[in-house]
Amino acid sequence: MKKTFIYSILSVWLVFTLFPIYWVILMSFKDATSVYAKTPKFIPFIDFEPTLLSWYHIFGKTVGGESEYMILDAIGENGLYLKNSLIVSFCSSILTITLGVMAAYALTRFKFKRWNNDNISFFILSQRMFPPVALAMPFFLLFHFVGLLDNVISLIIVYSIMNLPIVTWLVKEFLNDVPIELEEAALVDGCTRWQALLKILLPITVPGISVAFLFSFVFCWNEFLLALSVTFKNAKTLPVGMAGLTTLRGPSYWDIAANSLIIMIPPLIVTIIANKYIIRGLSLGAVKQ
Amino acid sequence: MNSFSEKYIKYYFIVPVVTYIFIVALFPLLFSIYMSFSKWAPGYGLSFIGITNFKYIFTDNRFYNSAILTFIYVFSLIFLEFIIGTFLAYLLHKNIKGKNIFRVLFMLPMLLSPVAVSYVWKMILDSNIGPANYFLSMIGIAPIEWLSGNYTSVISLIIVDVWQWTPFMTLTILAAFESLPKDLFEAALVDGSSNFSIFTKIMFPLCLPIIITITLLRTIDAFKVFDTVYILTGGGPGTSTEILNFYIYLKGFRNFDLGYGTAMSWIQLIVIIILFMYVTKLLKGSGALR
pLDDT tens-digit map of B171-226: 999 988 888 888 877 787 777 777 778 888 888 888 888 888 889 889 988 999 99
Residues A195 and A262 in one domain: yes
In a domain, A216, yes or no: yes
In a domain, A109, yes or no: yes
Out of B16, B103, B249, whose CB is closest to A133?
A: B249
Tens digits of residue pLDDT in B228-250:
999 999 887 888 899 999 999 99
Q: What is the pLDDT of residue A9?
A: 92
Q: What is the pLDDT of residue B1?
A: 45
DSSP A192-221: -HHHIIIIIIHHHHHHHHHHHHHHHHHHHH
**What's the complex ipTM?**
0.89
d(CA A183, CA A185): 5
HSE-CB of B182 using CA atoms within 13 angstroms: 2
Residues A38 and A97 in one domain: no
**DSSP single-letter state for residue A238:** H
d(CA B127, CA B156): 12
A242 touches chain B (CB under 8 A): yes
Out of B28, B112, B226, whose CB is closest to A142?
A: B28
Which residues of chain A does B255 touch, with a Cβ-Cβ cutoff of 8 Å?
none
**A65 Cα to chain B: minimum distance (Å):** 26
Closest residue of chain B to A218, computed from CA coordinates: B111
Residues A254 and A273 in one domain: yes
Residues A62 and A149 in one domain: no
Residues with Cβ within 8 Å of residue B157, at least 6 apart in sequence: B73, B225, B228, B229, B232, B233, B241, B243
Q: Are A35 and A251 in contact (CB under 8 A)?
A: no
pTM for this prediction: 0.90
A24 touches chain B (CB under 8 A): yes
Give the burial class of A196: count Cβ atoms within 10 A of its Cβ; 0-12 exposed, 13-18 middle, 19 or more buried: buried
* Interchain contact, A271 vs B111, CB within 8 Å: yes
Which of the listed residues A75, A103, A134 is the one where a domain comes to its end? A75
Q: How many Cβ atoms sit within 10 Å of the Cβ of residue A91? A: 18
Q: Are B219 and B78 in contact (CB under 8 A)?
A: yes
Residues A66 and A82 in one domain: no
In a domain, B24, yes or no: no
In a domain, A95, yes or no: yes
Rounded to the nearest 10 degrees, how much is the dihedral formed by the CA atoms of A236, A240, A242, A245? -90
Give the burial class of A73: count Cβ atoms within 10 A of its Cβ; 0-12 exposed, 13-18 middle, 19 or more buried: middle
Q: How many Cβ atoms sit within 10 Å of the Cβ of residue A78? A: 22
In a domain, A288, yes or no: no
Q: Are B109 and A17 in contact (CB under 8 A)?
A: yes
A163 touches chain B (CB under 8 A): no
Partner residues linked to B39 by β-bridges: B47
Residue B132 has pLDDT above 60, yes or no: yes
Residues with Cβ within 8 Å of residue A5, at least 6 apart in sequence: none
Residues A122 and A68 in one domain: no
d(CA B39, CA B259): 5
Q: Are B157 and B73 in contact (CB under 8 A)?
A: yes
d(CA B187, CA B184): 5
Angle in degrees, 0-180, between the axes of helices B99-107 and B152-178, rounded to the nearest 10:
140
Residues A44 and A89 in one domain: no
CATH of the domain at A220: 1.10.3720.10
* Interchain contact, B116 vs A242, CB within 8 Å: yes
Residue B288 has pLDDT above 80, yes or no: no
Residues A7 and A94 in one domain: no
Q: Are B233 and B156 in contact (CB under 8 A)?
A: yes
List the end-to-end C-alpha distance of chain A, in Å, as a whole number: 26
Residues with Cβ within 8 Å of residue A31, at least 6 apart in sequence: A51, A53, A254
Out of A42, A134, A142, whose CB is closest to B265?
A: A134
Residues with Cβ within 8 Å of residue A29, at least 6 apart in sequence: A44, A50, A51, A52, A54, A254
In a domain, B32, yes or no: no
Out of A17, A130, A229, whose CB is closest to B108?
A: A17
Partner residues linked to B47 by β-bridges: B39
In a domain, A183, yes or no: yes
Closest residue of chain B to A156, computed from CA coordinates: B24
**A279 Cα to chain B: minimum distance (Å):** 6
d(CA A49, CA A38): 15
CATH of the domain at B201: 1.10.3720.10
A40 touches chain B (CB under 8 A): yes
d(CA B116, CA B231): 9
Rounded to the nearest 10 degrees, how much is the dihedral formed by the CA atoms of A242, A245, A249, A250? 30
In a domain, B89, yes or no: yes
Residues A182 and A219 in one domain: yes
* Interchain contact, B129 vs A36, CB within 8 Å: yes
Confidence band (pLDDT; 50, 70, 90) for B86?
A: very high
Q: Are B153 and B147 in contact (CB under 8 A)?
A: yes
DSSP B110-162: TTS-HHHHHHHHHHHH-TTT-HHHHHHHHTTPPP--TTTSTTHHHHHHHHHHH
Which of the listed residues A21, A56, A75 is the one where a domain comes to its end? A75
SS (H, E, C) A119-177: HHHHHHHHHHCCCHHHHHHHHHHHHHHHCCCCCHHHHHHHHHHHHHHHHHHHHHHHHHC
In a domain, A137, yes or no: yes
Give the burial class of B113: count Cβ atoms within 10 A of its Cβ; 0-12 exposed, 13-18 middle, 19 or more buried: buried
In a domain, A289, yes or no: no
Which residues of chain B does A218 touch, with a Cβ-Cβ cutoff of 8 Å?
111
In a domain, B219, yes or no: yes
List the end-to-end C-alpha distance of chain B, in Å, as a whole number: 42
Partner residues linked to A48 by β-bridges: A44
d(CA A124, CA A165): 6
* Inter-CA distances, A187 with A51, A261, B6, B164, B267, Å: 63, 50, 11, 47, 51
d(CA A275, CA A281): 10
What residues of chain A score a pLDDT lower than 50? 247
Mutate to test the interface with A, among B96, B119, B212, B229 (most CBs of A within 10 A): B119
Chains A & B: contacts with CB separation below 8 Å: 269
Which residues of chain B does A129 touch, with a Cβ-Cβ cutoff of 8 Å?
220, 269, 272-273
What is the number of structural domains in chain B? 1
Which residues of chain B does A36 touch, with a Cβ-Cβ cutoff of 8 Å?
129
d(CA B269, CA A135): 11
Tens digits of residue pLDDT in B50-72:
888 999 998 999 999 999 999 99
d(CA A143, CA A150): 9
A257 touches chain B (CB under 8 A): yes
The residue range of the domain holding B204 is: 53-285
Which of the listed residues A75, A95, A113 is the one where a domain comes to its end? A75
Which residues of chain B does A145 touch, with a Cβ-Cβ cutoff of 8 Å?
none
Q: How many Cβ atoms sit within 10 Å of the Cβ of residue B143? A: 13
Mutate to test the interface with A, among B9, B11, B14 (most CBs of A within 10 A): B14
The residue range of the domain holding A245 is: 78-282
d(CA B273, CA A81): 36
In a domain, A248, yes or no: yes
B123 vs B289, which has greater pLDDT?
B123
* Inter-CA distances, B283 with B196, B202, B275, Å: 25, 19, 12
Distance of CA B130 to the CA centre of its chain: 27
AA identity, residue A179: P
Residues A161 and A71 in one domain: no
What is the number of structural domains in chain A? 2
Residues A54 and A180 in one domain: no
Residues with Cβ within 8 Å of residue B94, at least 6 apart in sequence: A1, A6
Residues A25 and A88 in one domain: no
